[in-house]
Homo-oligomer: A and B are copies of this chain.
Amino acid sequence: MLPLPTLAQNLGIAPEHLIQYGRDKAKVALEALEAARARRPRPGKLILVSAITPTPAGEGKTVTSIGLAQGLRKLDRSVALALRQPSMGPVFGRKGGATGGGLSTVQPATDINLHFTGDFHAVTAAHNLLASVIDNALHRGQTRLAPGGVLWKRVLDANDRALRSVRVAVGDPGERLSGFDITAASEIMAILCLAASRDDLRARLDRLVVGFTADGEPVPACEFRVTGALMALLRDALLPNLVQSAEGVPAFVHGGPFANIAHGCNSILATRMALAHADYVVTEAGFAFDLGGEKFIDIKCRQSGLAPDAIVIVATIRALKMHGGMPRDALAAPDLPAIRCGLENLRAHVGAAASFNRPVVVAINHFPTDTDAELALVRDFCAAELRVPCALSQVFARGGEGGTELAGAVLSLFDGADAAAAISYPKLEYVYPDDIPVTEKINTIARRIYGASGVDILPGAAARLVLFERAGFGRLPICMAKTQDSLTDDPKKPGRPQGFRITVRDFELAAGAGFIVALTGKMLRMPALPKVPAAEKIDLAPDGAITGIMGT
């Protein structure tokens, strides 16, 4: 790893644009983006890492992304990462860190998993300032919102079951049932990640809808006159963070919106900053391709004009067995027929990814229990049936060395074109156009991406949709909130189900982020602590090192 000023210098970031937070973390001034674009007008190539429907442990998108970037570096390519910052709450709950693993991590992993540079805290503060101002207006009768019409809750970056359902303002005119979401679920987090600039951030904060009047009129946040204060609170949080992988690959780790009720990608500014400074940029989208990949394209790319130049679909032998019907506690045992059957899940995701006219490569995230016969089966399937390259990724155990096969496969997608050359892809086609009805948008996603036969919208949801469309929000893209455990909306259905229908139970409006959330099930916005919270293992050693965060 390099001293951070050297890392930045190697990227071409001027010292005056590097704002250090301690020795190993920094923010990069937005001015660096313009400076880099003036220097190298053609941005780098964007490689999107997504996955098949995962096991509960995940397919390893983050570790694969980091390892792929390290592999590209081993092949002497100029490369950077653009990744989400993990949420702190789950670190104390069940999940452990989310900064890769083994020899493919971003560092300082403990800091990134905790306060990092304070961005989540800034989002928490901004979200709750708006909440306090709304409640102050309710208390004083200064708003056309009625207590029952307030949709804006509060947030904390914590796993706290007792805050899910909370009666606030007890004894006050504003008393009502409300609650706290985890900060990653704040619309302000999604807004921060989708903002293209300071001005765009301000415009989005102004127009975010905090509730509806009794007549069904949307009430935008700007009515509460604190957008300037929110901007002040978010001043530094808007700047992308710069750290590095364990092998010294620059990593812009910035923003962490939920992947269900939000779009689940790092910030647009971090992606742009990476693309402006490196020839190849590896990024990821939350959950499997049906959820995260689709939202990456239909929300992040649609709003920003970005487009992936290649798509990596990560799969594990374990997940393929699960999709082939093996019980989750037996996935270490060899079973070729189960894999053969489970490969239909891979086919679905690769098919969806390839439909965007971008080259796709499959990465097998290697586990020690994988057999040669199992790996060969997957490789043969990719070649013969899917007609996409397939590479073994051993980045957890071997770091960048274990990522060169995948890196080579990715580079081969570009046909040996010079890194600086444009690739003449057709313009990225989104799944649906802006100007069709919301129900039609959802139908298109469900049929084309999930393989569903149709969509049912429950009456309550339909009524809310009427409210949103009447208020003029019908042109927004859709943010599907669906289980990550199945192509269907039923987490108990692995593999490649056929003839199923998707049920939309509710809609939510994220007018500042710029999407309508379609909820296909109960989405938990505030996680809880398990019987033995992970916090019990975490400690501060006498030398000041933080120990016990899983995966660090």
Contact = CB atoms under 8 A, between A and B. Distances in A.
A136 interface: yes
Interface in A132-166: 132-133, 135-136, 138-140, 142, 154, 156-163, 165-166
Q: Interface size class for chain A?
A: 35 or more
Contacts of A540: 198, 202, 228, 231-232, 235
A166 B165 contact: no
Given A21-B22, A114-B232, A232-B540, A165 B157 contact: no
Contacts of A124: 121
Contacts of A132: 92, 158-163, 529
Given A228-B548, A528-B136, A158 B129 contact: yes
Contacts of A168: 162-163, 166
Contact of A157 (B125, B542, B546): B125
A225 B122 contact: no
Given A22-B19, A226-B536, A529 B136 contact: yes
Contacts of A115: 118, 121-122, 125, 233, 236
Interface stretch (A67-75, A170-178, A356-364): A170-178
Contact of A170 (B139, B166, B228): B166
A203 interface: no
A522 interface: no
Nearest to A163: B168
Interface string A209-241: 000000000000000011011011101100000
A129 B170 CA distance: 24
A139 B114 contact: no
A536 B142 CA distance: 14
Nearest to A226: B535
Contacts of A114: 232-233
A544 interface: yes
Nearest to A546: B232
Interface in A63-110: 88, 92, 110
A128 interface: yes
Contact of A198 (B133, B167, B538, B542): B542
Given A132-B162, A235-B546, A528-B136, A533 B226 contact: yes
**Interface SS of A by simple majority:** mixed
Nearest to A178: B162
A242 interface: no
A536 B136 contact: no
A137 to B, nearest CB: 9
A225 B88 contact: no
A231 B110 CA distance: 13
Contacts of A139: 161-162, 528
A104 B174 CA distance: 42
Contacts of A202: 540
Nearest to A227: B539
Interface string A1-33: 000000000000000000111110001000000
Nearest to A31: B544
Given A132-B529, A136-B529, A542-B198, A162 B158 contact: no
Contacts of A529: 132-133, 136
B232 A533 contact: no
A253 interface: no
B161 A172 contact: yes
A535 B22 contact: no
Contacts of A422: none
A523 interface: no
Contacts of A232: 110, 114, 538-540, 546, 549
Interface of A: 19-23, 27, 88, 92, 110, 114-115, 118, 121-122, 124-125, 128-129, 131-133, 135-136, 138-140, 142, 154, 156-163, 165-172, 174, 177, 198, 202, 225-226, 228-229, 231-233, 235-236, 528-529, 531, 533, 535-540, 542, 544, 546, 548-549
15 contacts: A19-B23, A114-B232, A114-B233, A128-B158, A136-B161, A136-B533, A139-B161, A140-B531, A162-B174, A165-B170, A165-B172, A166-B166, A167-B167, A225-B536, A228-B548
Given A132-B160, A133-B533, 18 more contacts: A20-B20, A21-B21, A121-B121, A121-B124, A128-B158, A128-B160, A131-B162, A132-B158, A132-B162, A133-B535, A165-B169, A166-B167, A226-B533, A228-B540, A228-B548, A229-B538, A231-B539, A235-B546
